[in-house]
Homo-oligomer: A and B are copies of this chain.
Amino acid sequence: MQRRLATKSKMSSKRPSAGKTTIYDIARSTGASPSTVSAALSGTWRSRRIKESTALEIQRLAEEQGYTTNMQARGLRKARSGLVGMVLPAHFNRFFSSMSQIFESHVRARGMCPVVVSTLRDPAEERRTVETLISYAVDSLFIVGATDPDSLSDICAAVNLKHVNVDLPGRKAPSVISNNYNGARQLTREILTSMPRSSDPLRAKAYFIGGAQWDFATAERIRAFKDVIAEERGENADDLIRARSYNPDASATDVRELCEQVGGLPTGLFINSAFAFEGVLKYFSTLPPEAFNNIVVGCYDYDPFASFMHFPVIMVRQNVDRLIAEAFRIIESDVHGAPCLQIEPELIRPRTLSDSPGETFRAGPGSERGEGSRKTRAKKHKPREEAR
């Protein structure tokens, strides 16, 4: 202890009261040894046969002196950090930000600290970010919508890091995704049935806009779109698809070109994401109000405001609550291989405010801890999911 004492006195001469108090400080003021203090404060004191009165006294003093554990030291020693990582494409998006929100509440319920980082769909950035999180020793990792989940899985596997893919599946780790095919089928059907009639054969069709062909989710939705068009209209939908990228500007261009080609707004539009929808709106803002009299838009994403547009907008809301809940279930059980759980999304008709995931945590302080109720409510929705 001689060493410690010397150190501490040097410290205190350098930073009067700036440094946080440590177990050594508390050890000195209680007369106990640092290990006893550690035991008393980390909750292991019972199993380490520390007298209750000693433990309580130490806890009292620690509280009084405003002690908090130095997580870096603990993490270094225990080789875990209490951090749970999540990488996602972007924050500035209702789908992804609801992910972080719900993720956060789960993590906090477990007494850990969330670290959510976005990577802007840049594979290199994704890898760098995962490496950074690993260097902070995150205890597990949620990989949301990664462009290249498998290469991230490799990085994680190298350090034995438990991880799960969400929203986009990988082949090297368990995944929890939306049932994009079913969702898109429903959306396409609904668009077709609610599309206004048009005498113009080109405008009378439904078109698909946005997303990237290489993207699994987009591919699934396109497949569903084609299938439904074939079933209901007996047509081939190849020419009705414009899926270049997730970039809103690309979608703006796509929809402009589409309109020039068909000579006006088509009466039905399947927009592949809120991102794309924003791009489409950018083009829409150049059109006169009358242009929107005879259209119906479907958007594969949910946004309460988008649902109240000045034209009918059918939306698909992914069940973020369940996606995250299942992801946690997987992380916490030891799942082998790379199963893929599909969660059913929900169709939201125009001008509807669905119970957004926000409801759960915006209800008020403290309510976000109500894990039980959330799960219960989620179950009510559509309990059918399939592993493949």
Among the listed B19, B72, B104, which residue makes an inter-chain contact with A75, where contact means beta carbons less than 8 Å apart?
Answer: B72
A104 to chain B, nearest CB (A): 6
Over the window 1-44 of chain A, the binary record of Cβ atoms lying under 8 Å from chain B Cβ atoms (1 yes, 0 no) is 00000000000000101111000000000000000000000000
- Copies of this chain in the oligomer: 2
Residues on B with C-beta less than 8 A from A68 are: 131, 134-135
> If the complex has contacts A72-B76, A159-B18, are A365 and B101 also in contact, measured as CB distance less than 8 A?
no
Over the window 245-284 of chain A, the binary record of Cβ atoms lying under 8 Å from chain B Cβ atoms (1 yes, 0 no) is 0011100000000000000000000000011011001101
| Cα–Cα distance between A111 and B362 once the two chains are bound (Å) | 33
Residues on B with C-beta less than 8 A from A144 are: none
> If the complex has contacts A362-B248, A365-B121, are A136 and B72 also in contact, measured as CB distance less than 8 A?
yes
Residues on B with C-beta less than 8 A from A90 are: 101, 358, 361-362
A211 at the interface (CB under 8 A from B): no
Number of interface residues of A (CB under 8 A): 80
Is B91 touching A365 in the complex (CB atoms < 8 A)?
Answer: no
| Cα–Cα distance between A364 and B119 once the two chains are bound (Å) | 11
Which A-B residue pairs are the 9 nearest by beta carbons? A122-B365, A310-B310, A305-B305, A305-B306, A18-B160, A72-B75, A97-B97, A72-B76, A91-B101
Known: A68-B135, A275-B362. 12 other contacts (CB 8 A): A19-B159, A66-B158, A70-B76, A71-B135, A72-B73, A90-B358, A92-B356, A116-B116, A278-B353, A281-B304, A285-B353, A305-B309
Question: Can you report 10 A-B residue pairs in the complex whose CB atoms are below 8 A from each other?
Answer: A19-B159, A20-B134, A92-B101, A92-B358, A100-B116, A113-B133, A115-B115, A247-B363, A281-B353, A284-B308
| Cα–Cα distance between A6 and B366 once the two chains are bound (Å) | 49
Is B101 touching A70 in the complex (CB atoms < 8 A)?
Answer: no
A-to-B contact residues, CB < 8 Å: 15, 17-20, 66, 68-73, 75-76, 79, 81, 83, 90-94, 97-98, 100-101, 104, 113-118, 120-122, 124-125, 131-137, 158-160, 247-249, 274-275, 277-278, 281-282, 284-285, 303-306, 308-311, 351-353, 356-358, 361-366, 368
Residue on B nearest A132 in the bound complex, by CB: B113
Is A113 touching B91 in the complex (CB atoms < 8 A)?
Answer: no
Is A92 touching B357 in the complex (CB atoms < 8 A)?
Answer: yes
Is A120 touching B70 in the complex (CB atoms < 8 A)?
Answer: no
Is B362 touching A247 in the complex (CB atoms < 8 A)?
Answer: yes
Among the listed B18, B125, B351, which residue makes an inter-chain contact with A365, where contact means beta carbons less than 8 Å apart?
Answer: B125
Is A91 touching B92 in the complex (CB atoms < 8 A)?
Answer: no
Is B93 touching A117 in the complex (CB atoms < 8 A)?
Answer: no
A257 to chain B, nearest CB (A): 18
| Cα–Cα distance between A268 and B41 once the two chains are bound (Å) | 58
Is A120 touching B284 in the complex (CB atoms < 8 A)?
Answer: no
Is A364 touching B76 in the complex (CB atoms < 8 A)?
Answer: no
Residues on B with C-beta less than 8 A from A362 are: 90, 92, 120, 247-248, 275
Residues on B with C-beta less than 8 A from A117 are: 104, 113-114
Residue on B nearest A93 in the bound complex, by CB: B97
Is B97 touching A91 in the complex (CB atoms < 8 A)?
Answer: yes
Residues on B with C-beta less than 8 A from A70 are: 76, 135, 137
Residues on B with C-beta less than 8 A from A121 are: 365
| Cα–Cα distance between A76 and B75 once the two chains are bound (Å) | 10
Residue on B nearest A114 in the bound complex, by CB: B117
Residues on B with C-beta less than 8 A from A124 are: 365
| Cα–Cα distance between A361 and B278 once the two chains are bound (Å) | 15
| Cα–Cα distance between A368 and B89 once the two chains are bound (Å) | 13
Residues on B with C-beta less than 8 A from A98 are: 91-92
Residues on B with C-beta less than 8 A from A122 are: 365-366
